[in-house]
Chains A and B, each alone.
Chain A
Amino acid sequence: MVEFDGARIREIAESVASKVGLPEEFDLKIEIDETVPLGRIEPIEVSDSGARVKVESGAIEDPKKPRGLSESGTELAFGMLMMRVMDWVNPDFKFDGTVGEQLPVGMSIAWNTYSAGRLSRLGFERARKARYLYLWRNRHGFNDIADEAFEKIWSGEPQSWPEIVAICDEIKDQVAATTG
């Protein structure tokens, strides 16, 4: 259904793992679902020693070549999923969710912002700030307070999930205080 080269996908995954600092002994299995054109990425299993993640084909597809592989898009998608998995298993990050649990959309985009900000600083060309700012504003508001919160998360200021949650919660409180 798609024209993806499995060997090339593996090479990209290995290169991204090296760039983001995924430990070599961590057993990460990435399953590409070729039957679905969407771009969802879902962890199926996560443990301290490894993870299994499902990636829908649209996540790594070239938007300018239907059913073709995008190298930079694959780098970004894998970078995002590896950042999230590394956060997940990092005890200092203190994420208390479970596999299969659907995060609220606003919190999901907050985590994506946190991941993309770090990838951007690592030189991932597709981790563009303007894109994530737009996605963020749609969930947290088109206002200065939400933008300041975005900057904090993008810049990597929070070190844990509870801190990210607190930043998001503060937006609502501050906007409410401003608007009465």
Chain B
Amino acid sequence: MKKFLPVEELARDERFVRVPIEERFMDKRKMPEDIRKQGTRFEAQSQQGPENARGLMHGIMMGEVQALEGAGRTAFDFADDEDTPYELRLDMARQCWDEARHVEISMKLMEHMGVEVGEFSESTFLYEAACNPDPVLRLTGVNRGLEGLAIDIFTSMRAFGQDGGDPIMEYCEDFMLADEVTHVKMGSNWLRRLTEGDKERLDRALEFQRVIDGLFSLGGLRGDDDESPIKLARDFRRLAGFTDEEIEGVAEQAHQVAVNSGLVKDGDADEDGAGMAVGYG
């Protein structure tokens, strides 16, 4: 079997359409002022909250598929690498088991929300982050960066379920959230163990995570600002091995992305950054 499978070779049927992340950043349309304050929030009683949640759930399902593919690849790609401990690959095998379950849960939730597979496009950024040739960078980028984002999203979706009185959403998100905390913790543990005494590798891994955190703050939708519909889940991040300083770093970075995308205002920041549209039809 081929090792280091490029993203173009992931198996998909005709229902799935991929949209490069650059496409989304090219969108010059802007959120109206009134929506900046209310419309993008995931509140069950808001005009667009449930519709936005439908699109997000499709994105979550695709993320779970790619997380399964990424963890499986990491378990396999480094099978002959003597510097990659067997226990790391065992952790990845366990993560595959979790991600497969998450795909099934997400599919059921989509059915519950009236979302069809392939109704929305697929972004492949999660798998692309899982293609790094250094397993430490993979785990840092995916398990700490993107699975950290998953913690924030699942916490927000769980709150959305509570807000709308939807027990199916609330409990499903809670089950998945528990697994995600474990996945992030795996990333934190392996980052510490494999970079012990190797500051340069540690710095490269953390820089890779910063790039991923910045790129995937979802145009400012994920952050600590009042306007951010997906909040930074600080408590769960601490449980997953993030230090307070690291959490502040993610929050500050997300704030800058939100300012640049026009979601929040900040007189000192660069106003020319690219925005990300959230459409629903």
A105 near B47 (CB under 8 angstroms)? Answer: yes
A37 to B: closest C-beta gap in Å = 4
A67 closest partner in B (C-beta): B27
CB contacts (< 8 Å) of A135 on chain B: these are 50-51, 114
A132 closest partner in B (C-beta): B114
Cβ 8 A contact of B166, one of A65, A67, A130, A138: A138
CB contacts (< 8 Å) of A51 on chain B: these are none
CB contacts (< 8 Å) of A129 on chain B: these are 114
B59 to A: closest C-beta gap in Å = 11
CB contacts (< 8 Å) of A73 on chain B: these are 281
Cβ 8 A contact of B27, one of A66, A70, A141: A66
| Overall SS of chain B's interface | loop
- For chain B, the bracket of interface size reads 35 or more
A77 near B50 (CB under 8 angstroms)? Answer: no
B39 near A38 (CB under 8 angstroms)? Answer: yes
Cβ 8 A contact of A65, one of B17, B55, B168: B17
CB contacts (< 8 Å) of B172 on chain A: these are none
A37 near B281 (CB under 8 angstroms)? Answer: no
Stretch at the interface among A7-15, A18-26, A56-64: A56-64
Taking CB atoms and an 8 Å cut-off, the chain B residues in 12-57 that contact chain A are: 17, 19, 23-24, 26-32, 35, 39, 44-51, 54-55
A38 near B279 (CB under 8 angstroms)? Answer: yes
Is residue B164 within 8 Å, beta carbon to beta carbon, of the partner chain? yes
B115 near A66 (CB under 8 angstroms)? Answer: no
A63-B119 CB under 8 A given contacts A105-B46, A138-B49, A142-B166: yes
B29 near A34 (CB under 8 angstroms)? Answer: yes
A128 closest partner in B (C-beta): B114
A35 near B281 (CB under 8 angstroms)? Answer: no
Q: Complex: how many Å from CA A9 to CA B191?
A: 53
The 3 closest A-B pairs by CB, nearest first: A130-B114, A131-B114, A58-B279
